[in-house]
Structure 1
């Protein structure tokens, strides 16, 4: 009856009182269990941030729960800060460590893994700051590395635990027998042509009438500079100069759209 009474009293106490008791008596499993139960919401909240990363939620939850226990055992109430402020980085750190050391199917260098985390943080910051999805060069400039390093880390992100192509598509369709491999489409070459045509049409809008004629005659009709000069009744040198100007405009426009 005494134990039941103690348990009831503990349940009526706030977190500070419970941590004071546990700090003075680390063998008090009742108080420890109550503290764990009271803070499992924190585990659930932080674990959910890592859903759809190639790991079952239950595994992440278990890692986060063990981290919570570790944080409770290490928490020093005399420091003056809230337990949640102390536990959060501890739990997140253990989850990230689990992903870093256990989850990668392909062995990726630690340097690349760490860069991948910086890229993810940079994407979020830059997207919020500029209100648009950042380009590779924007991410590279923000982090302070080369575009090649950013692309390497992005490619390496596929080293997380893969999903079998023979597994179910796991969607809301009535036919549950559909596999992921059935949803893989074939590359349509005409798509690239459509994109190029759209780019060229937009680029032509930036040219004047004379530049449009030279651009089409030189790059689509394969006319020589001499032929174009004769048709326009201008010198071949003028055609050559305008062609260089058009090419430079084309290069700048292309770089803007990369």
Structure 2
């Protein structure tokens, strides 16, 4: 009963005081859980930026949630900056890292995996027999399958060893220094792909012009407070204060829509 009472009392304390309590007692799981719950809106908002990009949203949300916990554990309130300013790049960094590590590896059916293995073995045997690279029709005849099946398995096999984006584009252009990554378009820096854009648009209607700019720059363009302050010709402290105000409005709006 004592723990329940403590948890209830903690709910009435603002975030700054909660972080002070947690910084002095890292074993206080009640405070830690409350801090996590209070900032899940940030996880949801940032995870939505990367939805519909080839990875299940649930996986992205889980990665972002773990990053939030990591940020809460590492946050030092004595340094003076807002938690959202610290957590946002941490969460985005972990999401991008997850994409780098997972997205490029293709998953293929077991049937195709097994056929790919047979093709590799057949290539070795036929190359020794014919003293040259075997043709698709020769591989298909040796294995006992169609040429279409061989081509499908050979194409899928590239998924096991993805090509580095830093490798040459291997085209006929004169500039041999062009890599594959140079030919990939950049991510659109708007939030047209966010599933909850209606919620965001409605939320921004309650912000003034200055707050809208700071909101977009901080959460969608990943600009630092100092960069925004320089553009607007105001102090970083003012940007920090306004960001704190925006985040509090966003939290309340998010809770209303739960």
Question: So what's the TM-score if we normalise by structure 2?
Answer: 0.44
Larger helix share, 1 or 2: 1
> Which of these two proteins has the greater Rg computed from alpha carbons?
1
Which gives a bigger RCO, structure 1 or 2 (Cα 8 Å, sep 6+)? 2
Question: So what's the TM-score if we normalise by structure 1?
Answer: 0.44
